[in-house]
Amino acid sequence: MEIALVLGVPLAGALLLALFGHRRWAPEANAVMSLGTLVAAALLTARVIADGPFAAFDEQFFVDPFNVFLVALTAFVAFTTTLFSRPYMRTEEHHKRLNSARLRLYHSMYQLFTFTMLLTLLSNNVGMLWVAMEGATLTTVLLVSLYRTPASLEAAWKYFILCSVGIAQALFGTILLYFAAEKVLGAGGNALLWTHLYQVRSDLEPTVLSLAFVFMLVGYGTKVGLAPLHNWLPDAHAEGPTPISAVLSGLLLNVALYAVVRSKVLVDGALERNFSGGLMMGFGLLSVVVAAFFLSRQKDIKRMFAYSSIEHMGIMTFAFGMGGPVAAFAGLLHMTVHSLTKSAIFFTVGHASQACGTQDMGAIRGLIQQSPTIGWGLALGSLAILGMPPFGVFTSEFMVLTTAMREHPWATPFLLVALGVAFAAIFGKVQPMVFGETTAQRLPHPPALVPVFVHLAIVLMLGLYIPPYLVDWYRQAAAFIG
């Protein structure tokens, strides 16, 4: 019942806004529908806490500690992003960058995008998970090119082609998985149900599964933005409207990583040696290093934070690759804090680039004079994402690093150097943007900065104190990821 609500509300929102998305009250309607989704997700979470994991609708959907926490996070960030999107999109309209028809497309697709992400998370059928993931690409591609500038069209085309090709590899992986599963579970719908696959995972044919995992890692990894398949990510983040950059970075990448981790759990059951872990550690480490060195060369503020997302997705992939309760716990925590911090940063970046009329970091100066809240939001957000204590990112990165030192000492220097380079690059660029003589103008619509500080407050809290029920939740999910 709760699952139907979680999926039904955004779907209804998409239909409603497809009809009325150009009206004056559409941004508020968008926020109300997302609030509805958040309430539904909270009900679902409450039920899982009370009754434990369950499956529904002929076992096509299921909830366990791993996906329920991502559902709650997705619904929450999707809601706060709509709050940010209200003044942001109105200002864009005021600056004549968008017309009402485009806004209708934007609002409707935003809801549909939320729906596809939640469907990906809740689907028990590995095939449907693929379908929903491809759906998430399809709903966002027209949003990346929303401004119809040459650069945004190029970014959207690259995003579409690269992610479609990538995800086609994941479909091949899924076919191979079905091929292996069918021998054990018999033909038909059950052989793709994750809960069934999980029970028989040690009986699945190892050769087929390892090949399937390679295809799924490459496929879903393209969407995670793992190097060397990350090319689409900086372009799509920089050229699309900022609320979309926030949800792409904060949510979609997490959802794609979720798909990778789900596949990993199955493969680990079938294989004796740690084949999947090694691959994930390799891809993760490569992404961290590549992203760190690209960071210092960026001029566009959204591109820079997009590279920072690649870096952090690399850290999470590395953590899940190492495996074990501590690393998996750190990976889950990092998913949460990165999602909250990065979306908060994109909210301030959106307002900052509107106030200065550019995304070029050389032209953004002295934010703190014109609007102290935007300036402080950007400064604190950057410190949080750089892993400064006492923010939560520090906690998770510390856990990843200490586990790496103990279990894979060779990887530690790479991680430390990359984190240091990233720190120097981002800090050196954010500092002049925040302080100094201002170039910013007043915004026509008052910026929405409550979501920024709510996100940062939660990240700060997670750095100092994680509530016991949240710890339990992470522990259960981590135990099960292994």
Told to check if 461 binds other proteins by CB under 8 A, we report: no
Label residue 465 exposed, middle or buried (CB < 10 Å: 0-12, 13-18, 19+): exposed
Cβ 205 to other proteins, closest distance in Å? 6
Q: Are strands 54-56 and 61-63 parallel, antiparallel or unpaired?
A: antiparallel
471-477: long-range pairs with CB below 8 Å, 24+: 473/65, 473/68, 473/69, 474/69, 474/329, 474/332, 474/333, 475/325, 475/329, 476/65, 477/64, 477/65, 477/66, 477/69, 477/328, 477/332
User: What tokens does 203 get?
Assistant: 């009986």
Identify the residue among 12, 32, 211, 417 touching other proteins (CB under 8 A).
211
Residues within window 167-206 making contact with other proteins, judged by CB under 8 A? 168, 171-172, 174-176, 178-179, 182-183, 187-189, 191-192, 205
Cβ 480 to other proteins, closest distance in Å? 25
Question: Which residue's structure tokens are 């510390």?
Answer: 398
Query: For residues 94 and 183, which CB has a smaller minimum distance to other proteins in the complex?
Result: 183
Cβ 157 to other proteins, closest distance in Å? 6
For residue 138, the surrounding DSSP H or E stretch is: helix 126-144
| Residue 379 CB neighbours (<10 A) | 19
Query: For residues 14 and 176, which CB has a smaller minimum distance to other proteins in the complex?
Result: 176
Query: For residues 195 and 438, which CB has a smaller minimum distance to other proteins in the complex?
Result: 195
Cβ 156 to other proteins, closest distance in Å? 7
Told to check if 416 binds other proteins by CB under 8 A, we report: no
Query: For residues 134 and 268, which CB has a smaller minimum distance to other proteins in the complex?
Result: 134
Identify the residue among 20, 54, 157, 198 touching other proteins (CB under 8 A).
157
- Confirm if 449 and 348 have CB atoms less than 8 A apart: yes
Query: For residues 311 and 397, which CB has a smaller minimum distance to other proteins in the complex?
Result: 311
Q: Which window, 32-40, 160-168, 366-374, 409-417, contacts other proteins (CB under 8 A)?
A: 160-168
CA distances to 120, 174, 188, 191 from 179, in Å: 22, 8, 11, 9
Query: For residues 134 and 397, which CB has a smaller minimum distance to other proteins in the complex?
Result: 134
Residues within window 281-340 making contact with other proteins, judged by CB under 8 A? 294, 297
- Confirm if 129 and 262 have CB atoms less than 8 A apart: yes
Query: For residues 87 and 135, which CB has a smaller minimum distance to other proteins in the complex?
Result: 135
Cβ 318 to other proteins, closest distance in Å? 23
Q: Which window, 4-12, 124-132, 330-338, 341-349, contacts other proteins (CB under 8 A)?
A: 124-132
Q: Which window, 13-21, 150-158, 425-433, 457-465, contacts other proteins (CB under 8 A)?
A: 150-158
Identify the residue among 21, 65, 135, 387 touching other proteins (CB under 8 A).
135
Q: Phi first, then psi: give them for residue 237, nearest 5 degrees.
A: -70, -35
Query: For residues 189 and 428, which CB has a smaller minimum distance to other proteins in the complex?
Result: 189
Cβ 160 to other proteins, closest distance in Å? 7
Q: Binding string to other proteins for residues 221 to 250, with x set by CB under 8 A, is what?
A: --------------x---x-----------
- Confirm if 161 and 145 have CB atoms less than 8 A apart: no
Separation of alpha carbons 378 and 34, rounded Å: 25
Q: How many residues does the chain have?
A: 482
Q: How many residues line the site for other proteins (CB under 8 A)?
A: 49
Question: What one-character DSSP code corresponds to residue 250?
Answer: I
In degrees, to the nearest 5, what angle opens at C-alpha 162 toward C-alphas 157 and 167? 130
DSSP states of 32-89 as a string?
HHHHHHHHHHHHHHHHHHHH--EEETTTTEEE-HHHHHHHHHHHHHHHHHHHHHHHHH
Separation of alpha carbons 218 and 171, rounded Å: 11
Which residues, in sequence order, are CB contacts of 51 under 8 Å at separation 6+?
none
Query: For residues 239 and 397, which CB has a smaller minimum distance to other proteins in the complex?
Result: 239
Told to check if 127 binds other proteins by CB under 8 A, we report: yes
In the complex, the residues that contact other proteins under the rule CB under 8 A are 60, 125, 127-128, 130-131, 134-135, 138, 141-142, 145, 148-151, 153-158, 160-161, 164-165, 168, 171-172, 174-176, 178-179, 182-183, 187-189, 191-192, 205, 207-208, 211, 235, 239, 294, 297
